[in-house]
Structure 1
Amino acid sequence: MSYAIIETGGKQLRVEPGRFYEIELLHVDPDVQVTIDKVLFVHHNDDITIGQPFIEGATVEGTVMRHRRGKKIIVYKMKPKKKTRKKRGHRQEITQLMINSISMNGTAIATEQQSAAIPAADEPDAQTIEADEAQQAAVSVVADEPDAQTVAE
């Protein structure tokens, strides 16, 4: 599994190809390709590259899916015995970004298709599911048959 740590919006974020991330607002239109060159760390097939502070030639490509506003945060300030109260609300502007690939020196080391082609260890494939269903059906048939002792009694 390949991943990278990037810096965007003043925050550091661990990203993998084929996944969605919510980052601070990027001033671009939806369905536009974005290249992030502030890559701090790349891990690919047990090969680790660390930047000082950024890795030269490393980029992360992504597609802006949509823009939205985050959950509302209420800021309430009060000074006791002074009759001073301030209530303010804030909603952060968020961009939903889909990571397409991680590249080093112009060559893509991890892409969305590569990460989708490798099945996750937690998710069983179709053959495993069919075998499990057949085994459960056989167990239920055996459970429906009466015992020899029960019939004799």
Structure 2
Amino acid sequence: MQIGSHQFKVSNGDSIFTERLKFCDVNDKLVLNRVLMLGSQAQTIIGRPILTDATVHAVVEEHALDAKVIIFKKKRRKNYRRTRGHRQELTKLRITNIEGIDKSFIQQEGTDKPESAAVAA
């Protein structure tokens, strides 16, 4: 799935840290619909570029700060040194449910082999 410009590989119960999501609060439920690929033991579906029927449900667990990043600038022989630092704001998401793998599988089976679908019915 994709959040902002970052891509994540997730499954049910995973916890991920993303850049700060300013539009949500703690315990909010999110529906993320930019799913790039779905997979199970039986099949894999790749989106071009995204899958329209797939969604990922997540819950916001907390907003936190990352470890401090030090930025040190220096120009040699010029007596120029600057030290700056910052802590990146993060949001922790817990994945609760992934939808779309069964529906996509049924649609693909129906379009690929109509004879086998008639036999199964």
- For the aligned pair, the TM-score class normalised by the smaller chain equals 0.7 to 0.9
Instruction: Read off the aligned partner of 2:44 and give its amino acid letter.
Output: I
For 1:106 and 1:63, the matched residues in 2 are separated by: 23
- Unmatched 5+ stretches in structure 1: 1-5, 108-153
Identity %: 32
Deviations 1:1-30 (A, max 9, x none): xxxxx1113111100111211111112000
Total equivalences in the alignment:
102
- Unmatched 5+ stretches in structure 2: 104-121
Deviates more, 1:40-49 or 1:28-37: 40-49
| Matched-pair contact (CA < 8 Å) for 1:35–1:61 | yes
| Matched-pair contact (CA < 8 Å) for 1:39–1:54 | yes
TM-score normalised over the length of structure 2: 0.78
For 2:102 and 2:52, the matched residues in 1 are separated by: 11
| Matched-pair contact (CA < 8 Å) for 1:57–1:106 | no
Q: Which has the larger radius of gyration?
A: 1
TM-score normalised over the length of structure 1: 0.63
Give the structure 1 partner of residue 8 of structure 2. Answer: 13
| Matched-pair contact (CA < 8 Å) for 2:14–2:94 | yes
| Matched-pair contact (CA < 8 Å) for 1:74–1:88 | yes
Higher RCO, 1 vs 2 (CA within 8 Å, ≥6 residues apart): 2
The residue correspondences of 1:1-153 to structure 2 (distance < 5 A) are: 6-27=1-22, 28-104=24-100
For 2:4 and 2:102, the matched residues in 1 are separated by: 24
Deviates more, 1:69-78 or 1:41-50: 41-50
